[in-house]
Structure formats: structure tokens, C-alpha cells
Chain A
Amino acid sequence: MANILEQLDNEVAKLFASWNLYTTLIALVLVAFVAYPIIFWEEPDTHPLLLARQAQPSPVRQPKESATYRSLEVPHGYPLKTGLNVKDAGAPRWAGGKDGDIRDVWREVMKGGGSGENAPPAGLIITVMGSDAAYEHDLKDISKEINIIGKHLQQIGAKKVAIYLANSIEYLSTIFACSFYGASPILLPYNLPPNVAFDLLKETEADTLIATAGSLPLSDLSNATGLRQVTWVVEKTSRHMDWSGNDDANGRIIVSVWHELVDDQKANASVDLPSNDQSPQPGSITTVWQEKHGGKSQIVEFTQRNLVSAIGALSSALPLRQRLNSADLVLPADSFSHTYVLCHTLAALFSHASLAINSVAGPGVDLSLAQRSVSPTVIIASAETLAALHQKEMGGISNSLQKFAHVNQSQAMSAGRMPTDNLLFKLLAPRQNAAGATPGKLRLIFTSERLGTDAPALSNTMLSDLRIFTRSRICYALTVPKVAGAVAQSNMFDYRMTNGDTKYSHFGVPLSSVEIKLVDKEDARVDGNTPEGEIVVRGPAVAGGEVKLGVQGKFKQDCTLAYA
């Protein structure tokens, strides 16, 4: 026994006898390699187990239907989120709020910057024009405009007001004016071929049109549609022309001009907006869902209840400390005619965030173009825009240093952290300019899959790459024609790359304004913890209360929704 020990001792002694300079070096590297992650420990952005089960399936299911899945915010047995939780002035803190409607969004904006002790900070509304001009609007002026346009609509007896505008403050003002003065806005996609626009105007039975001056030929408007009123919105640079002439329309359509209406009555207009008792019940909001731009259309009418529940759900879908607040500048880089964009925009206004409006916004707009002269912290972008950005940036990764940095950052992401802006990453990172002048400031991008349209698929890998390129977190949502806002939206901290890569990434969990179940003829498919079947959505954000999407979906083990 002792012999063996002695021999062993000798061997070890021999081993260490050959210690030399190289050994010291290797030992040092080894110690550093072990100690580095201990000293520079970085926590994941959220607890990994919070991502392991993100929604709540109901414990009981109907035959041939899967369990009903809900957001963790709204446990089973409690009502889904129905609105904005608006509280009357002076109501006690613990009192429950009302659902409210779109009028309450603007009232909340006007509360900003008030004199009271608890007054929230005022958000800015900025219009970005051209390459380097940004114009900040006075909120009181916008209130006046809402009053002027609303009264004008009321006087002419407008019931259904079609909006054919690029993203602009007039777009939002019209929606608010309609809500305060009892008209129903119709949100048309912009830049349509004239005959498609005419068909939509006829189909939606619009009686009034608010459109960019010269975007549609007036003479054809009177023949092809049932319009009685047109209000042109004229850009500053074209105001010297006479837009009020209605010779072409044969007198059948009364033409007015936005800025003339506003200028005439600005002096007398009140900043105070009508209260709920003074103004009629706000009308519905009609949207148009197109399979491709200018293609086959589906017209969907949303009630105000649908929209406010979507706004409420979208704003509470983010983790508590990451929600939109007055420090954010939100840039919608997609058209307001998509309810996901509109609801996020209204949610931003409701939470006193600042808003940058750019008229180039639309599906597929270049991100760097959309955010010229502003540095937004939150961007709402179309899938087209992000797919194009991904292609451009992946093409830009050529040398091995960049590839190494890319792999390195992907690894940090799969460990659950956003790669930080440290020196190493700055040296090695791919080109940064794609996401604006100050990439460090952008924190969040909302993007959406539009069901059954030509919107490109964003896969898990693409989203992960895009997070690295833009240095921001990305929420990917599933949007469908008949659900205001979105059906489901992914968790902003979910960067996991496991479970293989499918064409479409998963869409996260249901928003708190809807619940989702899957139905199938075969009971076995919808049983268990990973059911598959046709997606059925129900809840206050759904037009008509419940809708079958006609597409196969599945819930994964982590309770996220994906296409099957």
C-alpha cells in the first residue's frame, strides 16, 4: 500500500518537475478562463423559468377543442382586459376604472404637463418632414383642430368619414374628432390605385372623405362613389394653390380645405373638448385588410370597445418596468391603417410617451429613412421593413472578425442577455448605422405578422440577428383582420433559439384582451400540453366576439403560439 502511494507521489513529483514558463502561462490562462465569468457575471434579463411557461392553459377543455390559453395577467375565471381603466378625477386610488373609449386617450394626453402635483409629464408630438426638419406640435393647437374639424363634420352631417392620408397628425386628429363628435372613421390604406380606392369608398359607404390634396381625382370621386363631402389636407408647400374650387365635381361634392377651416376658426375655437355627456356616443372604426397592397380587401368594423381593450392589453403586455413611459419617443414606421400600429400609437399617447410621426411610414419603408432627424426609443415597424434590414445587414457581414462578433453576440443572447455596448463589441460589431445615429437609444421594436398577406416571414434566427443589428429588443406579434391590435405578441425578453428554426418564429402568448383555443376534428390532436389545430380567438378585442382564423396553429411546451 505504502509502496503504491510512494510511487504515486514520485509520479506527481515528476510531473511537476517539468513545470516551466509555458506551464505558468497555460495555468494563468486557465485561471482567467475559470474566473472571468465568476467575476464578470451577467444576469439574464429575465428569469429563464419565466420563459419556460409564458401563458396559462385552462385546466378543463371541451371535447375536440384544446385548453383555452390566456395571458398570465388575466387568470382563468377573471374577466379579460376590456379597456383603459380610466379613473374619474378625484376618484380614490383603489376604485376600479372605466373601460373608456378613444376620447379618453386624447383627454389623457391633455392631462400631461398640467399644473397639479400629480400631473404626468407632457409628451411631445413631432412631425418629421423631409430629411432634417422636425416640427413639434402644440398640444393645445391639436385640441383646437380636433374641435374645429369635429364641429365641421357634425355640421355637414358626416356619419362615415373615410381617411385617406399618409401618417400625419391630421390622421390622428380626424380619428379623435370623429370620436368626440359621433362620426365613424374609416381607415383606408394609403397610396392605392384610384379605382381600388373608389371601390373601397363605395363598399364602406363613406359619405365624407379626408384625403391628401390631389391624391385622388375629384371628378372621378363624384362619379364613382357616394361621397358628399371632401376635405383636402394640403401640405405647407402647396397651400398657395386654390384647392377649394369644385368645378370638376359638378357641384355634387362639397369641397373644403383642412388648413382653411382651421385658420378661419382658430381664434374662436375652444381648447376644451366636449365631455362624455355633451358628445354623442363615439362611432365604430372601420379598417381595411388587404392581402397585398391594393389587392383583395376585407372590411372590418371595430367598436370602440374592441379598440380600447386592445390598447389596454398592448400597453400592459410589456414587463412592468419596460412599459412605454414619458421618457420614450415612439416612431410608428408603418401605416396607422393597420390596427396594431394604431393601437400601439394610441397606447403610447395614453402613457404620455412622445410620438414622432413620419409620412413615409408604411409597410417596407427603410428604417434609416423613417428615423431620420429623430432618434426614437421605440419603433413600430412592418415585417417587410425588418426583413429588408436583415437582408441588408447579413450581406454586410463579410470578414471573420465580424463573423466572430456575430457568433459571440448570438451566444450572449441565447444565455438570455442583450449584448451590451462594451468596447469589444463596438470594435467587432457589424455596421451599426442601420438603426439610426444613436443605436444605443433604441430599445424596442414592435413588428407583426399579418395573417394571410404578403408580409414576409420572420424566423427565430432572423429576429435574433435583428436584435443584434439594431441593439434593441423585438416583439413579434400575430395580427389578423378581425382582432384589434394583435392576437398574440412575443415576450420582449425572449431571445431563446432552441426548438429548431421554423419559417415563422413563434408569436408569444395571447394578449390579455383575448383568449385562444385550438379546435380540430380529431380529439387527440388538441389533447395534452402541445395541442395543434385551427386557431380560434375570443375576447373583447375581437370584432364580433369570436373568430376562427382558418389557419392551423400550435401551442408549444412553453405555451407560446406558433403556426403549425
Chain B
Amino acid sequence: MDQATTEQPPPPAEVATIATPINFVLLALFLILAYYRLKPKAAATLPSPPPPTVFKTFTPPTLRPYNGENNMPVYLAVRGRVFDVTPGRNFYGPGGPYANFAGRDASRGLACGSFDEDMLTKDLEGPLDKLDDLGDEEMEALRGWEERFSEKYLVVGKLVPVGSEEAKEA
């Protein structure tokens, strides 16, 4: 066997050629990688935040639908400022302990610490509750509530009586 190989003339020095299938495969791989490396990358982006809420002027009747029913957000008004209390839907939304306040002017109720129906202004078309008859203690309580609301919730509008100048403008 050994003899046979030695006797045979040495195989002609084969010129290594670049044009072999495996070279093509590797080159193609290289080109693909290079393409992805050099391709300009899109800058990192964050998902778009929700667009800002527009500050609105409400009257008691137009505020009424914002009580959390029918997928509406929950708003309530304190001394003319309308707060979006949707994050506290469990309290202020339908079925919550403060559900009476949803979509209403809650000033008197908060000041007096009562969540009853009779704290709300009956006549939606009438003037806003001026709270003139409340004592210092109650006003103090109301201020405390307002502060807490301002810290936790967004002011999304103001409440004006029906028929006022501002209501006509809006």
C-alpha cells in the first residue's frame, strides 16, 4: 500500500481557487452581516404618551355626565375647580362610597364631611353654591380636601354657573 502511494506521481499542486461554493456562502454571510452593521439604526423611541387633556369650562349640567358611568371619566368640582378623579374610581366612581359626588359640585359635602345626597346643589341651572353659611372649621376642612386633591389629581377645568359670561364663551 505504501509502495503504491510512493510510486504514484505526486498530485499536481492544485491551485487553491477562491471560487468554491463554501467561499461564496461565507462571503454572502459576511456581506449580510456588514449590511446590518452599517445600516443606520433608528433612534430609540418611547411609545407616545396620551395627548394632553384640554382645560374645559363646565356648567353643572355639562359636568353631570362625567360620573364614571358609560365609560366616562369621573370628574368632581371643588369651589369652581374641576378635578379628574378617574384614578380614584373605586371611591368616586359608580358604586363607590363617594359616588354621589361624581359629576357634581362636591364643595359643600367635603366641607361638612357628609356624603349625602342633600349636600348637593339640587338646581343644576341655578347659581353655584357660595358656601357663605359655612363656619371656619368647615372651610378649613374644605381647604384640606382641596390640597389633597391638588396633590393627587389633575385640574381639568373650571365650573361656572349656567348663563354666566364664561359659560357663553366656552
The docked-state distance in angstroms from the alpha carbon of A496 to that of B150 is 38
The docked-state distance in angstroms from the alpha carbon of A60 to that of B25 is 58
The docked-state distance in angstroms from the alpha carbon of A52 to that of B42 is 11
Q: Is A41 an interface residue (CB 8 A)?
A: no
Query: Majority SS of interface residues in chain B?
Result: mixed
Q: Which residue of A lies closest to B38 (CB)?
A: A411
The docked-state distance in angstroms from the alpha carbon of A547 to that of B92 is 40
A20-B53 in contact (CB<8A): no
Q: Which residue of B lies closest to A64 (CB)?
A: B54
Q: Is B114 an interface residue (CB 8 A)?
A: no
The A-B contact count (CB < 8 A) is 95
Tell me the A19-72 residues at the B interface (CB within 8 Å). 19-23, 26-27, 29-30, 33-34, 37, 48-49, 51-53, 57-63, 66-67
Contacts of A26 in B (CB 8 A): 23, 26-27, 30
Our pick among A27, A58, A67, A496 for the contact of B26 (Cβ within 8 Å) is A27
Distance between A461 CB and nearest chain B CB, rounded to angstroms: 14
Contacts of A267 in B (CB 8 A): none
Interface size on B, as a range, is 35 or more
Interface residues as binary, A151-170 with B (CB distance below 8 Å gives 1, 0 otherwise): 00000000000000000000
The docked-state distance in angstroms from the alpha carbon of A140 to that of B55 is 56
The docked-state distance in angstroms from the alpha carbon of A415 to that of B18 is 35
A60-B45 in contact (CB<8A): no
Distance between A557 CB and nearest chain B CB, rounded to angstroms: 7
Our pick among B16, B25, B27 for the contact of A21 (Cβ within 8 Å) is B16
Distance between B77 CB and nearest chain A CB, rounded to angstroms: 15
Interface size on A, as a range, is 35 or more
B21-A57 in contact (CB<8A): no
Contacts of A66 in B (CB 8 A): 52
Q: Is A391 an interface residue (CB 8 A)?
A: no
Tell me the B19-72 residues at the A interface (CB within 8 Å). 20-23, 25-27, 29-30, 33-34, 37-38, 40-46, 48-49, 51-56
A33-B30 in contact (CB<8A): yes
Q: Is B3 an interface residue (CB 8 A)?
A: no
Our pick among B18, B21, B43, B150 for the contact of A52 (Cβ within 8 Å) is B43
Distance between B76 CB and nearest chain A CB, rounded to angstroms: 16
Interface-central residue, B38, B51, B154, by most chain A CB under 10 Å? B51
Given contacts A33-B33, A51-B43, contact A15 B22 (CB under 8 A): yes
Q: Which residue of A lies closest to B43 (CB)?
A: A498
Q: Is B155 an interface residue (CB 8 A)?
A: yes
The docked-state distance in angstroms from the alpha carbon of A55 to that of B48 is 13
Contacts of A29 in B (CB 8 A): 30
Interface residues as binary, A67-95 with B (CB distance below 8 Å gives 1, 0 otherwise): 10000000001000000000000000000
Q: Is B156 an interface residue (CB 8 A)?
A: yes
Distance between A28 CB and nearest chain B CB, rounded to angstroms: 10
Contacts of A27 in B (CB 8 A): 26
CB-based closest 3 A-B pairs: A18-B20, A48-B44, A67-B52
> Chain A residues in contact with chain B, CB under 8 A?
14-16, 18-23, 26-27, 29-30, 33-34, 37, 48-49, 51-53, 57-63, 66-67, 77, 411, 414-415, 496, 498, 523, 527-529, 557-558
Q: 10 pairs across A/B with beta carbons < 8 Å?
A: A18-B20, A19-B22, A22-B18, A22-B20, A23-B23, A29-B30, A60-B54, A62-B54, A529-B51, A558-B45
